[in-house]
Amino acid sequence: MTEKVLYAELIPQEFRERLAAAPIAYLPLGTIEWHGEHLPLGTDGFQPLHLFQKLAEKVGGIVLPMLFVGPDRMVEEEGRELYGMDAGQLRPPGIQYPNQQLAGSAYRVSDDLFGQLFRAILKQIARAGFKILVAHGHGPSGRYFSSKFDEWKRDFGLDCFHCWEWTEEGDTLLSFQTGHAGVNETSTMMAAYPHLVQMNRLSAEPNEFPLGTSPDDARDATPEHGQAIINHQIERMSAILTKALAALS
Ligand SMILES: [Zn+2]
C-alpha cells in the first residue's frame, strides 16, 4: 500500500503521526483556468499536487487540497472582465489574438480578498501544528505568497518555501511551472498526468500558435522533459526541506 499523504484522507491518528514526524504542509496554488485546448483547466494545481505528493512520500509532511481561486491581472472592457491571457494588455509582447474570454476560467478574486483568504488559511495551518509551509502553483498566487515570507514567520511562525528557481538570466530550463501552458507546463503535465493531456487538440498547422498560451509552442513539449523537471525539483526541494526540518529541532 502506498503511503497516505493527502490531508483530507488522513484519520486523526495518521495526522498526529505524520505531523510529529515532519510538520510540513504543502499547499498547491491552483486555478480553474484556460491552459490551451490541450490541457485540463486545473493544470496550475495538478502540477504542484503531483510534486508535493512525491515530496511528502520522500521527506514527510501532509498535502492540503488544491486552492482553486487566485488573483490575476484584470482589465474591464465593454462591461466585461478579462483576466490574464484573455486580453492584449495582459499578455507578453508578441502574443497577439483578439481579446476574448477564454473558455472555462472561473478562479479570479481580487488581490484584497485573496490576501484575506490566504492569511486565514495560514492561521489554520499554524493552529493545526505545522511549522513549515511549501506553496507553489499559479503565478500571481505564488508571487503574493513569496513576497511575504517575513510576515508569515512573524504572524504564524511558519518557515515558508516555494519551488521557483531564479537566476540572473531568468528561469532555468528545469524551473517548475514557468510560462502559461507552453513547453514547461505541458511537459510536466504529460509526465505527471498523461491521461489528462490531449495534444491532438492542438492544430497541426505549424503557423497556428496555440491560443492563450505563452511564451513558447506547447507542441514542442515532451514527457521526458517533464519528468526531468519533476525529478530535478524532487531532489532540489527535498534537500531544502531536510535542512529546514533539521533547523527546527
Ligand atoms: Zn499555469
How many angstroms does the Cα of residue 17 sit away from the middle of ligand 1? Answer: 33
2 within some domain: no
* Rounded distance from Cα 183 to ligand 1 centre (Å): 11
| CA of residue 33 to ligand 1 center, whole Å | 8
Query: Is the residue at 174 inside a domain?
Result: yes
Is residue 187 a part of any domain in this protein? yes
Tell me the pLDDT of the chain (249 aa) as tens digits: 578 999 999 999 999 999 999 999 999 999 999 999 999 999 999 999 999 999 999 999 999 999 999 999 999 999 999 999 999 999 988 889 999 999 999 999 999 999 999 999 999 999 999 999 999 999 999 999 999 999 999 999 999 999 988 766 666 778 999 999 999 999 999 999 999 999 999 999 999 999 999 999 999 999 999 999 999 999 999 999 999 999 997
* 1 Cα: distance to centroid of ligand 1 (angstroms): 32
Bridge partners for 81 per DSSP? 76
What is the CATH number for 92?
3.40.50.10310
Domain count, the chain: 1
Question: From ligand 1's centre to the CA of 138, what distance in Å?
Answer: 6
Q: 194 is in which domain, residue-wise?
A: 7-248
Alpha carbon 101 to its chain centroid, in Å, reads 22
How far does residue 106's CA lie from ligand 1's centre (Å)?
Answer: 14
- Whether the CB-CB separation of 135 and 127 falls below 8 Å is answered with no
C-alpha–C-alpha distance, residues 201 and 52, integer Å: 28
CA of 86 to the centre of ligand 1 (A): 14
Q: How far is the CA of 209 from the centre of ligand 1 (A)?
A: 17
Alpha-carbon Rg of the chain, whole angstroms?
Answer: 18
**Which DSSP category does 244 fall into?**
H
CA 67 to centroid of ligand 1, rounded, Å: 13
- Cα 143 to ligand 1 centroid, rounded to whole Å: 13
Asked if residue 118 belongs to a domain, the reply is yes
Query: What is the 8-class DSSP label of residue 148?
Result: T
Q: Domain for residue 159, yes or no?
A: yes
DSSP characters for 37-106?
Answer: TTS-TTHHHHHHHHHHHHHHHHH--EEPPPB--B---EEEETTEEEEGGGSGGGSPTT--------TT--
